[in-house]
Amino acid sequence: MSIVLYDLAGADPDLRFSPYCWRTRFALAHKALPVETVAWRFTDRDAIAFSGQGKVPVIRDGDTTVFDSWTIAEYLEDQAPTPTLFGGPTGRAHARFINAWADSVLVGGIARFIVHDLVDAIHPKDHDYFRSSREARFGESLEAVQAGRDQRLAAFRDLLLPIRLVLRRQQWLGGAAPSYADHIVAGTLMWPRCVSRFTLLEADDPVSAWLERVLDLYGGLGRRAKQV
């Protein structure tokens, strides 16, 4: 029986762009677990009320409901230990740092480049919720948040230096093989890739070359993903 994933979608139901849902998509594919995705919009609270909260990713695995991308990754690793996402308890603990870094530095950094592009991608019924919640978070209009992004690009790229240093020495963030660390960072980068035409990474950045490798994993799951 397939695992059901409630997956953030745009106006186009095939446009899937959540940085957290992509972490889960990659983790499920890594485990070769069959998945059936359900297109979900920000305001579809009732559809996931069974999970006791209001955000995706949420998965249903038979009678079990799990939400939050990190918790889902731990659940999948515990249910189906191989192929491993974490490589043991220490690898899991260290991956939590990479997850925390991606959540704070990477998601926060990318948001200011694409948050207004997101308005054009999301379902019209989500517009009011999205704009009011995000403008409250940033304390200014979405137009103002995204303004001047060309001038901020070099500083954003500097934030990726730790990834670049790692990729000088190993092919994947997981070492000789992809791990959940790759899913965390690549899943986060699927977000701008899918909803914005803005170029965040330079073509000759080693991070770009690594992302291309991730896009080819799991039968090209990331590469086939719809983009605006």
**Which of 90, 124, 136, 219 forms a contact with a copy of itself (CB under 8 A)?**
90
Question: d(Cα 208, Cα 54) in Å, to the nearest integer?
Answer: 33
81 interacts with a copy of itself by CB under 8 A: no
Which range binds a copy of itself by CB under 8 A, 97-105, 117-125, 199-207, 216-224? 97-105
DSSP the chain: -PEEEEEEB-SSTT-B--HHHHHHHHHHHHTT--EEEEEE-TT-TGGGGGGTSS-S-EEEETTEEEESHHHHHHHHHHH--SS-SSSSHHHHHHHHHHHHHIIIIIHHHHHHHHHHHHHHHS-GGGHHHHHHHHHHHHTS-HHHHHTTHHHHHHHHHHHTHHHHHHHTT-SBTTBSS--HHHHHHHHHHHHHHHH-----S-TT-HHHHHHHHHHHHHHHHHHHS---
175 interacts with a copy of itself by CB under 8 A: yes
**Which of 2, 32, 36, 88 forms a contact with a copy of itself (CB under 8 A)?**
88
Smaller CB separation from a copy of itself, 155 or 176: 176
Which pair of structure tokens corresponds to residue 161? 């230096």
Backbone angles phi, psi at 64, to 5 degrees: -100, 130
Which range binds a copy of itself by CB under 8 A, 6-14, 89-97, 144-152, 193-201? 89-97
* Count of residues touching a copy of itself (by CB under 8 A): 33
**Which of 10, 109, 174, 187 forms a contact with a copy of itself (CB under 8 A)?**
174
> In the complex, what is the shortest distance from the CB of residue 87 to a copy of itself, in angstroms, rounded to a whole number?
2
> In the complex, what is the shortest distance from the CB of residue 63 to a copy of itself, in angstroms, rounded to a whole number?
26
163 interacts with a copy of itself by CB under 8 A: yes
**Which of 49, 100, 144, 209 forms a contact with a copy of itself (CB under 8 A)?**
100
> In the complex, what is the shortest distance from the CB of residue 105 to a copy of itself, in angstroms, rounded to a whole number?
7
Q: Rule CB under 8 A: which residues touch a copy of itself?
A: 84, 86-98, 100-101, 103-105, 161-163, 165-166, 169-170, 172-176, 179, 181
